[in-house]
Amino acid sequence: MPHQFTPQEIADLEAVLSAPRFATYLRETDGDRHGAMELYCWNTNVSSAFYVLLQFCELAVRNAAVEAVEKEFGENWHLNRGFAYSLKNPTKRNAYNPRNDLTQCAKRLPTAGKVVAELKFAFWQHLFVTAHDPRLWDQHFADVFPGHDTTLTIAQARAQIYQDLDVLRRLRNRIAHHEPIFARDLDDDQNRARRLISWRRPRTAAWLDTFETVTPTLRSRP
């Protein structure tokens, strides 16, 4: 439903957001300040709607990965040196280092469960690279993702997860930093998140369909 904003309300929002941030919405609406306000409200609503979907998506993939790693390296996988050394260890400055992330968490946290909760989202994405196929995914992918597309090879399905996580991680970061997401292909983002949940547990994806609010919010874009 369209809102009615007073000029003062719009000016106040611009002051809260900052002129450069509000200008992003003004450009999209060709300088229409009321339209920019409507778009900002919608962007906030769709970001909120995506939060639930992304939460289930991250949990689904993370817990599937943990299950696979436990099958191969045992319940104390976070202390297993063989597993740690199988992780990438880039030396490039500012590059994410999954090996360092794991070892630092394992040093200061008492249990695998605590480590899981502290590892960055990027850590789980980095498990879905080709290097982990022989020992991890070739053996355990079908068990932990029973709903995956069986027309794909395991390597293709694992690569699809990596690609989906890369796209969704960027969406997640934009939402977390209160950035606009209206210019993204949000239908594609939604489909990627749902696919990952469905590959983990199809019935959970069907259950989420009954109450997620991304779909109606996308349809209500001003």
Q: Which of 38, 30, 52 is nearest to 4 (CA)?
A: 38
Q: Measure the CA–CA gap between 166 and 141, rounded to whole angstroms.
A: 19
Confidence at residue 217, expressed as pLDDT on a 0 to 100 scale:
97
Confidence at residue 94, expressed as pLDDT on a 0 to 100 scale:
84
Q: Give the amino acid at 127.
A: L
Report which DSSP code applies to 130: G
Confidence at residue 2, expressed as pLDDT on a 0 to 100 scale:
65
pTM: 0.92
Note the helical H segments in the chain. Answer: 7-17, 19-28, 33-73, 81-86, 98-108, 112-118, 121-126, 138-144, 154-176, 186-200, 202-209, 214-219
Confidence at residue 91, expressed as pLDDT on a 0 to 100 scale:
81
Cβ distance 49 to 189 under 8 Å? no
- Where the chain has pLDDT below 50, the residues are none
Confidence at residue 17, expressed as pLDDT on a 0 to 100 scale:
87
Q: Give the amino acid at 71.
A: K
Q: Measure the CA–CA gap between 163 and 155, rounded to whole angstroms.
A: 12
CA angle 208, 148, 190 (to 5 degrees): 40
